[in-house]
Amino acid sequence: MLRALKFLVLTVFCIGLMLGMANAQGFLVKFIDANGDGQINFVVNAFSFASQNYYLGVGTPNTYTSSLQLLTIPAATYNPTTGVFTPGYNATNVSWTGTSLLYDVYLSDGAKYYWTSLGTASGASTGSSLTIEWFSASAIPVFTYSISTTGDAFQVVPVPISSSIWLMGFGLLGILAFCVVRRRLVTCN
């Protein structure tokens, strides 16, 4: 009975580990020339309550290297007289040539990068607007990064879960099952 309980607990742990990795799934952003003019035009807005500057940009998927910085978000300011924090804010217009571009979006403090493909943010798109919120679990202040356009579109594309993760999880379950069967065979002799 105790062995069956141990097997059940370890099985639930392995399945939970695999599901946890699946839920931490990141995303990429597809920039689409919806109006067919050969250009992808949009406005980037970002707010920060941090005491330092942060940087927003994009990179080629699966490379984790910055290829284009879009915006510098200035540090928030504090007015000691009024006791009011004013968030750092910046906006810029961006224009790219192309009909469909797929990028990994990042937030950086200049030393460390937080990529959307690694599951450090959540993203939502209505077509003509895109909002990305970096999780406070990333050990950074929560930021809101929004992009809007009048003629083009955005699409949030989930990063597919690697088959190696599933293979590893089922391999762990197989090893666990082998150990249980082997123990039973050894104790029966």
Q: For residue range 80-136, what is the model confidence (pLDDT) as tens digits?
A: 899 888 988 999 999 999 889 999 999 988 888 889 888 888 888 888 888 888 876
Structure tokens at 143: 């930021």
Q: Which domain holds residue 82?
A: 26-160
- Does residue 84 share a domain with residue 12? no
- Does residue 185 share a domain with residue 129? no
Q: Total domain count for the chain?
A: 2
Does the pTM surpass 0.75? The reply is no
- Does residue 90 share a domain with residue 33? yes
In this predicted structure, what is the pLDDT of residue 23?
47
- Does residue 169 share a domain with residue 97? no
Q: How far apart are CA 11 and CA 51, in angstroms?
A: 45
- Does residue 10 share a domain with residue 44? no
- Single-letter amino acid code for the residue at 65: T
Q: In this structure, what CATH number is given to the domain that contains residue 75? A: 2.60.120
Residue 150 has pLDDT above 50, yes or no: yes
- Does residue 151 share a domain with residue 171? no
- Does residue 172 share a domain with residue 147? no
- Does residue 177 share a domain with residue 140? no
- Does residue 39 share a domain with residue 18? no
Structure tokens at 35: 């109006």
In this predicted structure, what is the pLDDT of residue 128?
86
Parallel, antiparallel, or unpaired: how do β-strands 113-115 and 66-73 relate?
unpaired
- Single-letter amino acid code for the residue at 42: F
Q: How far apart are CA 47 and CA 147, in angstroms?
A: 12
Q: For the chain, give the mean pLDDT.
A: 80
- Does residue 170 share a domain with residue 81? no
Q: Which residue has the higher pLDDT, 24 or 183?
A: 183
- Does residue 115 share a domain with residue 94? yes
In this predicted structure, what is the pLDDT of residue 55?
92
- Does residue 147 share a domain with residue 57? yes
